[in-house]
């Protein structure tokens, strides 16, 4: 075991020596995206594992070691980590934990401190916790982000968005069951191999990959059927993580619907845009603003390449760009509303409605004030202009039953099928 190094605020620092021998555990939120991210980190000399636990023990561990006022995603993340450390699968003297930190006003910014407190309570106080953030919140000599690594991460998240979107658009109509899943796995493996062998992750190779991926999905044999389309929006962890939303996507698929889930790229651009808006509204470092604007333009240029490539293949619907949805949400809510998912959640609802998806489920942790305001709280205003929207806000927490959640979703689907039969 390494001699532990502590920072001034008494947290354990992840050192360069630890990088060589420590296993890093990462809670999984988006299976395809995070599989790519994990492999990128491993190629950088780390040794990472994705945690995919989905059982009641996770919730029990989370409830045991966190305050019950904390939101459901925090409880699940802490529960997964402690469950993994107790499982016997890892040497706790050579294991570290990786968690993202946005630095915003959401309770999520405090997960890392709550996790450290929980680890101490559970007897794992010597396990280092690494903060993955772009806000310079915490530094670790053994885990540093550089421009090359950030660009790889961004490419992985965009590839993940594309694969998730094409999979969701193809799976409900595939002639040969499982062909969409098989192709998604094939391309995930192919991209991982590219990260191993290539040093070029620029726009040219991404454009080529976008074309190849979309072309391959367009070749999947489908049966053209009229199906109910359901959009899922909400708090980022509950929206994407199956252990947080009780496998809502599988449930909806088994109910014979097409599921539409907005990708994560707009959320990343939103977080960068927030920093620009902050400086514009309240003042701040103009050089930082310049850097944020440059970074935002880079992200948007990649997004535009993806949109333009998708438009060449007419059989797939295409999400709008960040600037387009930002413009459309302006009559509804202020750009200064940015806690949690902020105005972006409202914008995603509007984007789905504009694209013809009128059945929308907003998933959120119980007691998540930002999401209740920008999600459920905006519905009356949205319905005043779009009266045909079929909307349900579903809360997720340890006390909510899966049966009750699914029954509420079934009510939405009954109304959606009735509307579909009229068209």
Q: Going residue by residue through the chain (423 aa), what tens digit of pLDDT does each one get?
A: 567 887 767 789 999 999 999 999 999 999 999 999 999 999 999 999 999 888 889 999 999 998 777 788 989 999 999 999 999 999 999 999 999 876 566 666 678 888 999 999 999 999 999 988 766 678 889 998 888 899 999 999 999 999 999 999 999 999 999 999 999 999 999 999 999 987 667 899 999 999 999 999 999 999 989 999 999 999 999 999 999 999 999 999 999 999 999 999 999 999 999 999 889 888 889 999 999 999 999 999 999 999 999 999 888 999 999 999 999 999 999 988 888 889 999 999 999 999 999 999 999 988 777 777 888 889 899 999 999 999 999 999 988 889 999 999 999 999 999 988 876
Q: Quickly tell me which residue has 């409605």 as its tokens.
A: 353
Closest C-alpha to 217, from 185, 250, 243: 185
Specify whether 244 is located in the same domain as 343. yes
Specify the 3-state DSSP secondary structure of 39.
helix
Write down which residue in 127, 144, 161 finishes a domain: 144
Q: Exposed, middle or buried, 330 (CB in 10 Å: 0-12/13-18/19+)?
A: exposed
Alpha helices, DSSP H only, in 198-264?
203-218, 236-240, 248-254
d(CA 407, CA 413) in angstroms, rounded, equals: 10
Asked whether residue 230 falls in the same domain as residue 353, the answer is: yes
Within a domain: 270: no
| Domain-terminating residue out of 117, 144, 171 | 144
Domain boundary residue among 103, 127, 144? 144
Pairing of strands 48-51, 23-27: parallel
Q: Contact, 161 vs 309, CB < 8 A?
A: no
Q: Are residues 230 and 122 in the same domain?
A: no
**Token pair recorded at residue 421:** 């039969």
How far apart are the C-alpha atoms of 392 and 358, rounded to whole Å? 11
Nearby residues of 140 by Cβ (< 8 Å), 6 or more positions away: 13, 14, 15, 128, 130, 131
- Determine the Cα–Cα distance for residues 271 and 257; give it in Å rounded to an integer: 31
Instruction: Compute and round to an integer the Cα radius of gyration of the chain.
Output: 21
Q: What local confidence, expressed as pLDDT, does residue 87 receive?
A: 95
Cβ contacts of 242 within 8 Å, gap of 6 or more: 54, 248, 249, 250
- Report yes or no on 37 lying in a domain: yes
Q: What is the pLDDT of residue 318?
A: 94
Rounded Cα distance, 243 and 50, in Å: 14
Residue 381 lies in a domain: yes
| Beta-ladder partners of 231 | 260, 360
Residue 188 lies in a domain: no
pLDDT number for residue 200: 64
Instruction: Tell me, yes or no, whether 329 lies in a domain.
Output: no
Same domain, yes or no: 237 and 372: yes
Do 140 and 232 belong together in one domain?
no
pLDDT value of residue 367: 74
Q: Is 257 inside any structural domain?
A: yes
Beta strands in 162-262 (DSSP E): 228-234, 257-260
The residues facing 99 across adjacent strands are 131
For residue 116, the enclosing domain spans 5-144
The total of structural domains in the chain comes to 2
- How far, in Å, CA of 229 to CA of 356, rounded? 9
392 and 249 in a common domain: yes
CATH number at residue 244: 3.40.50.11900
On the CB side of 320, CA atoms within 13 Å amount to 19
The predicted structure's pLDDT at residue 8: 67
- Three-class SS of residue 228? strand
Collapsed DSSP state (helix, strand, coil) of residue 314: coil
**Which has the closest alpha carbon to 250: 54, 33, 49?**
54
Please provide residue 51's backbone torsions phi and psi, each rounded to the nearest 5 degrees. Answer: -90, 125
Confidence (pLDDT) at 105:
63
Q: What is the pLDDT of residue 197?
A: 86
Model pTM? 0.94
Give per-residue burial for 171-201: e unless 16+ CB within 10 Å, then b. bbebeeeebbeebbeebbeebbeebeeeeeb
* CA dist., res. 53 & res. 141, Å (int): 30
Read off the tokens for 114.
């709550």
Q: Is residue 291 part of a domain?
A: no
Whole-angstrom distance, CA of residue 79 vs CA of residue 71:
12
């Amino acid at each position: 075991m390494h001699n532990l190094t502590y920072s001034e605020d008494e947290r354990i620092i992840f050192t360069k020596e630890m990088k060589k021998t420590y296993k890093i555990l990462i809670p999984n939120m988006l299976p395809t995206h995070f599989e790519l991210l994990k492999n990128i980190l491993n190629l950088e000399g780390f040794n990472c594992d994705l945690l995919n636990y989905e059982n009641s023990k996770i919730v029990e561990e989370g409830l045991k070691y966190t305050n019950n006022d904390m939101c459901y995603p925090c409880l699940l993340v802490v529960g997964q980590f402690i469950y993994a450390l107790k499982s016997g699968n890892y040497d706790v003297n050579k294991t570290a934990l990786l968690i993202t930190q946005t630095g915003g006003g959401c309770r999520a910014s405090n997960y890392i401190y709550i996790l450290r407190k929980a680890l101490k309570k559970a007897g794992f106080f010597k396990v280092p916790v690494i903060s993955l953030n772009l806000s310079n919140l915490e530094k670790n000599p053994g885990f540093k982000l550089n421009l090359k690594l950030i660009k790889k991460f961004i490419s992985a998240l965009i590839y993940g968005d594309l694969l998730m979107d094409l999979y969701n658009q193809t799976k409900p109509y595939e002639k040969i069951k499982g062909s969409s899943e098989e192709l998604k796995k094939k391309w995930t493996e192919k991209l991982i191999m590219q990260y191993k062998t290539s040093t070029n992750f620029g726009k040219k190779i991404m454009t080529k990959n976008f074309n190849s991926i979309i072309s391959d999905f367009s070749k999947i044999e489908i049966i053209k059927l009229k199906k109910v389309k359901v959009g899922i929006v909400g708090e980022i962890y509950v929206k994407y993580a199956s252990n947080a939303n009780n496998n809502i996507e599988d449930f909806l698929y088994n109910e014979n619907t097409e599921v539409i889930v907005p990708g994560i790229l707009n959320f990343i651009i939103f977080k960068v845009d927030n920093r620009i808006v902050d400086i514009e509204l309240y003042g701040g470092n103009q050089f930082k603003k310049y850097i944020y604007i440059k970074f935002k333009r880079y992200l948007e240029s990649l997004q535009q390449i993806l949109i333009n490539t998708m438009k060449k293949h007419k059989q797939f619907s295409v999400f709008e760009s960040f600037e387009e949805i930002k413009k459309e949400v302006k009559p509804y809510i202020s750009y200064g509303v940015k806690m949690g998912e902020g105005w972006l959640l409202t914008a995603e609802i509007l984007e789905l409605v504009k694209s013809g998806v009128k059945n929308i489920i907003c998933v959120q942790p119980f007691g998540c004030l930002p999401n209740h305001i920008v999600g459920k709280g905006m519905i009356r205003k949205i319905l005043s202009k779009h009266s045909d929207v079929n909307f349900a806000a579903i809360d997720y927490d340890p006390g909510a039953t899966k049966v009750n959640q699914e029954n509420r979703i079934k009510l939405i689907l009954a109304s959606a099928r009735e509307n579909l039969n009229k068209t």
